[in-house]
Amino acid sequence: MLEKIRTSTFLLAITVVLLLFSLTLLIFTCFWGLNDDAVMAMHIYGKGYSIEPTEYILYSNIIIGSILKKIYQAIPDYPWYGIYTMLILFISFIVLLYSLLTYKYSKTRILYFLLYFVLFGLWLIRMPQFTTNAVMAGMSGVFLFFTYLSEGKTAIISKFIVAFSILLLSLSFLIRPESFYLIVILSFSFITVEMLMHEYRKRALGKLLVLVIPLIIIIILSATYHRSAYLKDDNWAHMIKKIELGRELVDNNKAMEYSSRTKHIFDSVGWSLNDVIMLTNWFFIDDEVFGLVKREKVLREINNISLPRPMIYLEHMVRDKYFYGAVVLLIYFISQINMRQKIFFQIALSLLVSVFIILYMGYSVRLPDRVYMPILSYLAFLALFFVDKDIRPEEIKLWKGKLNILFVVIFMVFFIFIHYSFNAVRKKQNVVLKHSIARLDPEKDRIYLVWAKSLPLELLSVFDNLDDFADLKMLDITADFNDPRVMKVSKALNIKNFGELTGKDNLFHIGNLTYMALYARYLKEHYNLDVAFKIIEVNPLFMIYKHIEVNPDISRRIKTIPVNVAGVKYKVLAIQEQ
C-alpha cells in the first residue's frame, strides 16, 4: 500500500499527517499553551472580556482578526479561532513532510519524521499558541522553498512551490511578526550557505529573488494596513505605544530589578517595590500610576545603567524534559548524516546562530518555552532534512541496527508517556475550571474583575466556543482603561476609571492571596485606602472575593493571613463570616 501511495509525495504527506493528527486528537485533549490565545478568541467571539466581536486582537495582524470575525459572525456555532489554530499546524506539518520526502525519499526518513512528531508535533498540538504557530508556518515555508532550489521540477510544480512558500512565510508574519523574524534569522545561514555553494549560483540567486521580492511587498503592505487600522483611532494610537512600552518593561529582565542600584529610578516616577511586582504581574490598568511618560522614563534610565542580568529563564530551560529530548533528538539526527562540507557548514552555522539567540534572550530579555522549543524544533528538522543513512532490513540483525531501533522505540514510548501524563493533569484542571466558571452565575448581576493569570484560561480546550462566558460581565484589570475594547466593556458596566473599582457592591475579584496582598498595598500606597477581603468562594484554581474598606464595624471580624510574594512579606486582611 505504501508503494502505491508513494507515487504521489504530496498524497503520502497528507495521508501520514492526517493519520498522526487524527490519532493525536483522539488520544489527547488540546488546551491552549498560553492564556493570550484564549483572550484573543474571546475578542473574536465577543465573549468574556469583550462585549462584541472585534478584529482588534493586537498580537496578530488585523487582516487575520477581520477574517476570523467575519467567519464567526456568519457561522457562530463553531470555535473558529481554535479551528484556524489547528489548521495552521496541520498544513505546516504536511508541507514539512512533503519537503522532507521531496528532497530525498526513504522509509527511514518517514520513521524519523514520526520521531520528530512525537516530540515536537505532540508538544505543539497539545498546547498550541499563536507564537509557535507562526514559527511553524514560517519554517514550513523555508523548507518548501529549499525544495524549489532542487533540480528536476516541472515549471508548474515550481511555480506552485514558490507561491505556497510565499503564502506560508506571509502567514507567519501575519500571525506574529516576531516569530517570522526569528525564522528569517535562523534560516539565514542555512540559505546563505546554499546560495554560496550552489552549483548554479546565479540561477539559485534568481530563485531566491523570486521568493524575496513578492514577500517583502506583501509584508510592507500588510504591516502598513495593520498599523493604519490602529493608528486611525487616537485611543488605539496611544494604546499601541503604551503596550509596546509595557511589553518592553516586562521583557527587559533588568528593568524589573528593584534594588539599591535601581530604587532611585523607580522613586523618580513614584513606583514602590510593590508597584514593580505588580508590573511583573501585568498590572497596567491604572493610568495615573503606570502612564506612558513614566514607562518611558523608567526604561530610558534603566537602559543607561549597567546591571548584572538574572539567569532565571536559562535555569528554567535546563530543567525542562522537552529541552533535553530536543537536544538528544538533534544529536541523533546529526549522527545519521553522511556529513559533507556544505551540509556541515549549514548545520554548524545554524547551531551557532541558535545558541547565540537562546543565550541572548535568556540573558537579556525573556526565554519562555514558546521561544526555545521552536528554535530547537527548527534545528532538529534541519538535521532531519539532511539525514541520509537508511536503516536497511539486513542491518536490523546487526547490533548497530538494533541500537537504532531500540533508541527510536524508547524515545517514542518515553515522550508519549510524558505527553500523556501532562495532558491527564490538564484534563482534570479543565473539569475544575469549567465547573468553577459555571458557578459564577451571570444572573446575580455580578461584575468580575480578573487579574492576569488568576483565571487560568489556558486550561480551556482549543475547541471551546466559550459559551460559558457569553453572559458573564468581566473586566480585565491587567489591561488598560485607554484600550478601546476595555473602554466599551467599562462603559457598558458603568465603570469610568480605576477609582470606580472600589465601593461598588456588585464588584467581585477573581484572584488569589498573592493578588490580594499586592492589590491591598497598592490601594494603601496610592489611594490611602485600608481594605480587607471578604472571601466568597475558594476552589483549587482561584478565589472569588470582594475588597471592603476597613471600618470599626468589621475590624473585629478581620483575620490576618501572612503572604510571601517574591520574597516580600505581606499581610492580607480577610473578613471572617459571622
pLDDT for the residue 137:
98
Q: Are residues 409 and 447 in the same domain?
A: no
Burial 443-460 (b: 16+ CB within 10 A, else e): eeebbbbbbbbbbbbbbb
Q: Are residues 410 and 516 in the same domain?
A: no
Is the entire prediction scored with pTM above 0.85?
yes
Q: Does 64 fall in a domain?
A: no
Q: Are residues 412 and 527 in the same domain?
A: no
pLDDT for the residue 549:
81
48-52 contacts at long range (C-beta below 8 A, 24 or more positions apart): 48/466, 48/469, 48/472, 48/474, 49/450, 49/474, 49/475, 49/476, 49/479, 49/485, 49/489, 50/485, 50/488, 50/489, 51/488, 51/489, 51/492, 52/488
Q: Does 183 fall in a domain?
A: yes
Q: Are residues 477 and 570 in the same domain?
A: yes
Distance between alpha carbon 265 and the CA centroid of its chain, in Å?
31
Q: Are residues 523 and 399 in the same domain?
A: no
Q: Are residues 24 and 116 in the same domain?
A: yes
pLDDT for the residue 503:
66
C-alpha cell at 186: 535562523
Q: Are residues 405 and 480 in the same domain?
A: no
Q: Does 536 fall in a domain?
A: yes
Q: Which domain holds residue 462?
A: 442-575
Query: What's the structural domain count of the chain?
Result: 2
Q: Does 155 fall in a domain?
A: yes
176 closest CA partner among 116, 128, 235, 133 = 133
Q: Are residues 408 and 457 in the same domain?
A: no
Q: Does 225 fall in a domain?
A: yes
End-to-end Cα, the chain, rounded Å: 74
Answer for the pair 438, 430: CB distance below 8 angstroms, yes or no: no
Spatial distance between the Cα atoms of 335 and 483, rounded to a whole number of angstroms: 52
pLDDT per residue rounded down to tens, the chain (578 residues): 444 444 488 999 999 999 999 999 999 999 999 999 999 999 999 999 999 999 999 889 999 999 999 999 999 999 999 999 999 999 999 999 999 999 998 999 999 999 999 999 999 999 999 999 999 999 999 999 998 887 655 455 788 899 999 999 999 999 999 999 999 999 999 899 988 887 778 888 888 999 999 999 999 999 999 999 998 888 888 888 888 887 777 776 666 778 888 899 999 999 999 998 888 887 877 888 888 899 889 888 888 887 666 677 788 899 999 999 999 999 999 999 998 888 999 999 999 999 999 998 888 778 899 999 999 999 999 999 999 988 877 777 777 778 888 999 999 999 999 999 999 999 999 999 999 998 887 777 888 989 867 899 999 999 999 999 988 989 888 777 778 888 888 888 888 777 777 767 888 899 888 888 998 999 899 988 888 888 888 888 899 998 888 877 777 788 888 888 878 888 888 886 55
Residue with cell string 534610565: 301
Q: Are residues 212 and 145 in the same domain?
A: yes
161-165 contacts at long range (C-beta below 8 A, 24 or more positions apart): 162/207, 162/210, 162/211, 164/95, 165/141, 165/211
Answer for the pair 575, 534: CB distance below 8 angstroms, yes or no: yes
Q: Are residues 22 and 151 in the same domain?
A: yes
Answer for the pair 275, 522: CB distance below 8 angstroms, yes or no: yes
Q: Does 435 fall in a domain?
A: no
Q: Are residues 415 and 537 in the same domain?
A: no
Answer for the pair 53, 64: CB distance below 8 angstroms, yes or no: no
Q: Does 274 fall in a domain?
A: no
Q: Does 12 fall in a domain?
A: yes
C-alpha cell at 540: 483549587
Helices 35-45 and 130-148: crossing angle in degrees, nearest 10, is 90
